[in-house]
Structure 1
């Protein structure tokens, strides 16, 4: 009898193993495949399109006043627009993006990392990230005088007199960092001044601009390392830091060691004892796959994410999740 039971049990186990393998072969339990770099970057490109506002005006109209969805006023002297050095006539198309919250900064991959005088990068507290480009028949135009922005301070958490202008530079990998605009802004010429509940910013060119200041924390600083799930590297995922209490800022771990498989900020600018949330983001089937860990920063800490900690959400869902972090 025991022999018959053993034979029956062996046959049952063999059947289960065969069935499991068959399901896998039929695709019912597909094996994991990490996204390509193109699939990952397509998420950010789509998010930028979703955040783009489009305007049209006539180049002969002179001073143009436009108002964004969030109430930012955009002033442009259309007579200053040129194409290959020649004045522009006819219809002009204007693309405009404004990012005020860390959720939208994350889904568009536009973190607030400022380049320090020594070349290192550190977190910026943002009063708004802006992209402006004027085109005619798809060809980018130049401008010879300032573009004026009037930014309601209610969008930025109030007036901060330490805010200055920064210019966005995008590297060969498509990642954005911010360089201080070194023009003299004492009287608002090419800089910022404050009046009532508005920031007035004067931009001397098209492209990415940010109203920011460096994050200031007197505590000792450290470097942290983050280990992404198996199958991910700097081509198909990003690691961000959300500092608790800072709604208009998003840090980014911009270096990756292919030997160790670890991401790092590597500049040693993260305060020890800082309460923050570490965010892993990648792509799955055209949506965002993410995981978040709340941590208190310890010296030379390594934070590890695993695949079973991840969830898949839409762009709008992830924006809400990130904006609801402490």
Structure 2
């Protein structure tokens, strides 16, 4: 391969990101009426209190008959890695209690929350730790960064079936079943979990008022008093033009990522890792349209340098490797 040729990191990393798009779970597609309020429940416990009067299309056209909701619920290292959502805020490590993506359209038109209005959403409680509300955005390379909103999640114990009831006069849970290819209206979440395989969380946080659609994270700042060190990364394969490298903490919901391309000037390193932490290092590249993977587990007490030597893999093997993180 001619190393004198200009390497476009966006193009090379695009192939790796496309690989993850192919093996990651697709977002849930849920539907709600545009002429009445509804409570929409995600498969892993997110509850959306939807009032269509609080929404409008970006282009000014009227709402269609239905509102389409796109929802991702990422509650562990495996799902966060598959969707390339590192838990970092301006270089500082976060511990996630669940990451989410929420968007809405109607008749193919992008929606937004009206100025002065908000969308109330309850997120599942996964930990007793005090958690904060972060919003996320990707940079030009697709790397996620989370920004604090200075708002905390407040515990709110809810018995889900009792809060909804089995009386059809109560507000329904609506969702789209991809296998049946139809909308389902659900009043009894106990039978829902049994018949449709939904994970019912008994407890959620009090609702958070969203002003915009996009990425949301329930996080806390990672605090560890031990001395810190950097974990340096080097790529041994000369034929690799670009790769994404992940450092996955084995004892908490936390992931860091670094990007590599052959003309990158900066050294690759995961910075300020507590000494004595166990990390699983996973690197992914694409060559000749095929996945190449490297993985190892280190303890930062004894090792702070990792030399990556890629081996050919397959999409199925890569997904299996990532799913074992749980």
TM-score (norm 2): 0.72
Q: Which residue of 2 aligns with 1:159?
A: 128
Give the stretch that moved more between structures: 39-48 or 130-139. 39-48
Go from structure 1 to structure 2 and tell me whether the alpha carbon gap of 1:251 and 1:105 turns closer, same or farther (over 3 Å shift): same
Does the alignment pair 1:244 with 2:250? yes
Select which of 219, 232, 239 maps to 2:226: 219
Aligned residues: 266
Q: Which residue of 1 aligns with 2:46?
A: 72
Go from structure 1 to structure 2 and tell me whether the alpha carbon gap of 1:284 and 1:149 turns closer, same or farther (over 3 Å shift): farther
Select which of 85, 95, 102 maps to 2:70: 95
Select which of 22, 28, 37 maps to 1:46: 22
Q: Which residue of 1 aligns with 2:88?
A: 113
- Pairwise CA RMSD: 2.8
Q: Which residue of 2 aligns with 1:20?
A: none
Unmatched 5+ stretches in structure 1: 1-34, 116-120, 186-190
Quote the offset at 1:85 in angstroms: 7.8
Does the residue aligned with 1:44 lie in a helix, a strand or coil?
helix
Unmatched 5+ stretches in structure 2: 1-10, 158-202
Q: Is the 8 A contact 1:224 1:301 kept in 2?
A: yes
Higher relative contact order (CA 8 A, sep 6+): 2
TM-score (norm 1): 0.72
Q: Is the 8 A contact 2:242 2:261 kept in 1?
A: no
Go from structure 1 to structure 2 and tell me whether the alpha carbon gap of 1:259 and 1:54 turns closer, same or farther (over 3 Å shift): closer
Does the residue aligned with 1:111 lie in a helix, a strand or coil?
coil
Go from structure 1 to structure 2 and tell me whether the alpha carbon gap of 1:312 and 1:227 turns closer, same or farther (over 3 Å shift): farther
Does the alignment pair 1:208 with 2:215? yes
Select which of 142, 148, 160 maps to 1:180: 148
Q: Which of the two has higher C-alpha Rg? A: 1
Does the alignment pair 1:193 with 2:149? no
Q: Is the 8 A contact 1:291 1:311 kept in 2?
A: no
Separation in structure 2 between the aligned mates of residue 301 and residue 139 of structure 1, nearest angstrom: 49
Go from structure 1 to structure 2 and tell me whether the alpha carbon gap of 1:261 and 1:83 turns closer, same or farther (over 3 Å shift): closer
1:190-245 Cα shifts (integer Å, max 9, x gaps): x5221123223412210001010111110111222111241466x63111111121
Mapping of residues 17-36 of structure 1, within 5 Å? 36=12
Does the residue aligned with 1:109 lie in a helix, a strand or coil?
coil
